[in-house]
Amino acid sequence: MAEDKTGANRIKRHPFLGDAPDGETTRVIVDGNEFYGIIGEPIAMTLLANGIRTSRTMPHSGAHRGYFCGVGRCPDCAMTVDGELNVMTCTTPLRPGMVVRTQQGLGSWQENE
Ligand code: FES
């Protein structure tokens, strides 16, 4: 059996939904660190499976925010993805080779340099 690198927190068998579907694995870089996820799943799912719970920080207080609604209706999962600010990671599918950054406050184009 091949080693599963897609995250120790990944739910592989749900008591009601059954087994998670198989998918092609890809690499994603998050804040400079390498992780793996399944192509097509929401970026947020990859991050949670790999134990990453902070998506952004508040502009004034710096408090950490994490995934909240999970359906694209709140701003809490906004991250910088491939240089684009405010990407809703709960509704954006994972593509091969993505580079994801924790968004600091409102984000900055300088973050991407
Ligand atoms: S968690 Fe609310 S929009 Fe993604």
What values do phi and psi take at 29, rounded to 5?
A: -100, 125
Contact 64 CB / ligand 1 (< 6 Å): no
For residue 31, is it left (φ>0), alpha (ψ between -120 and 50) or beta?
A: left
- 56, amino acid identity: R
For 110, the 3-state DSSP assignment is helix
The CB of 72 under 6 Å from ligand 1? The reply is yes
Assign a CATH topology to domain 23-104: Ubiquitin-like (UB roll) (3.10.20)
Indicate the domain borders of the chain. 23-104
pLDDT digits (tens, 9 = 90+) for 52-85: 999 999 999 999 999 999 999 999 999 999 999 9
Mean pLDDT of the chain: 93
Given this model, what pLDDT does residue 21 score?
Answer: 84
Query: Which pTM value belongs to this model?
Result: 0.90
Cα 113 to ligand 1 centroid, rounded to whole Å: 26
Check pLDDT > 70 for residue 2.
Answer: no
Asked whether 66 lines ligand 1 (CB < 6 A), one says no
